[in-house]
Structures are given as C-alpha cells and as structure tokens.
Amino acid sequence: MKFQDMTFDQVVSALQPQGFPNLNSTNSRPTSPYDEDYNCIAWAAEDTDYWWWPDAMGQKYWPTEVPREETLAAFVRAYGIQGYIERCDATVEQGKQKIAIYTASNGKPTHAARQIPDGWWASKLGQLIDIEHEFAALDGPAYGTVAVILARPGRNGGSEINP
C-alpha cells in the first residue's frame, strides 16, 4: 500500500521498523496529508514551496549565503538567516520561537522540527505527512537525535505562546 493511501496509524506502523522506534499515535498526531513539495528543513522555516537541502548536485534550494554542505554548522547558519541565532533548550519560553536540528550518528543533519505553543514540535516527514509530536518521538536510527535547538524572538511580541 502506498503511504498516500494509509491511515495515520498505518503510517506510524510502517515507519516504526524503519528507524522510528519511539513513534506512536499517542506521542504524535497528523496535521496535513502527503506532500512532496517541501521537506522538514523548509517546514521548520515555514516554507511550503521549496525543498531545502544542500545537496552536492545543486538540485534543491539552499540559501546562497550559506555553504552548500551537509554539516550542522551550515544548517545553523541557514536558520540564522531566518533569525534563529540563540542557542537554547527545549522548554517553552514566552516570546520565543524555537527550532530543533537533528543529526545522525555520523554528525550529518537529518531533520528539523519547529516548536509549537503547547510544547510539542511540528515536523514534516520527508515527502510524507506533517505531524506534531512530543520532543523525543522521532529519536532513533532514522533521524538520530536533536543536536541543537535555536530560538528567535516570537512574532507578534511572542503572543503565539499564549492561547
């Protein structure tokens, strides 16, 4: 069965053995259908029009000001252009928007997520769906773990933290 035709529970069941041992339908929820037009790196930057990646073939979008290399430093610089320059932890802080960058065991970036007001995180899973999830729900062989969390001043004076 194609991922596009699966229910959320079926997607979760299909992903678990692919390197997402912690993911389940209790610590995550779907928020949008399958969409191959953008990836997690773009989604964390609130861009749904482009697929971001610094691939050597020059196929995908990458900010021209940032080295086109698959390093944590390059990803930190790319989000720095978006205003995410303060290193922080995963707690919810009024007036701050936060993103988390994941790296694999080889140190290469794999994924990014954006904190939402209730303390969960918004992620796009490759070409698949958008989900919201608990902080550690995506930890595992596929995405590795969070290597750095960056913050920027929240929009609208940080009111997005409030209900």
Partner 1 sequence: MGASTQSVQLQRQLNELTGYYALPASSRRDPRRDRFRSLAQQWRNETQWLSSTTEVAMNPAYQAIIGMGAEALPMILEDLRQNSGHWFWALKAISNEDPVVPRDRGSIKKMKGAWLQWGQTKGLVRA
Instruction: For partner 1, give the closer residue by CB, 60 or 152.
Output: 60
Name which of residues 48 to 87 contact partner 1 (CB under 8 A): 49-53, 55-62, 70
DSSP labels, 71-140:
SHHHHHHHHHHTT--EE--SS--TTEEEEEEEE-TTS-EEEEEEE-TTS-EEEE-TTS-EEEE-TTTTTB
130 with 140: CB under 8 angstroms? no
Residue with smaller CB distance to partner 1, 113 or 149: 113
Decide if residue 126 touches partner 1 (CB under 8 A): yes
Residue (16 or 90) nearer to partner 1, CB: 16
Scanning residues 106 to 125, which ones bind partner 1 (CB under 8 A)? 108-112, 124-125
Angle at 39 between CA 156 and CA 34, to 5 degrees: 105
Quick one: which of 40, 78, 99, 100 contacts partner 1 (CB under 8 A)? Answer: 40
Burial track 58-67 (b if 16+ CB lie within 10 A, e otherwise): eeebbbeebe
Is 15 near partner 1 (CB under 8 A)? yes
Q: State the nearest-atom distance from the C-beta of 59 to partner 1, in Å.
A: 5
Site residues (vs partner 1, CB under 8 A): 3, 15, 18, 20, 36-42, 49-53, 55-62, 70, 108-112, 124-128, 142
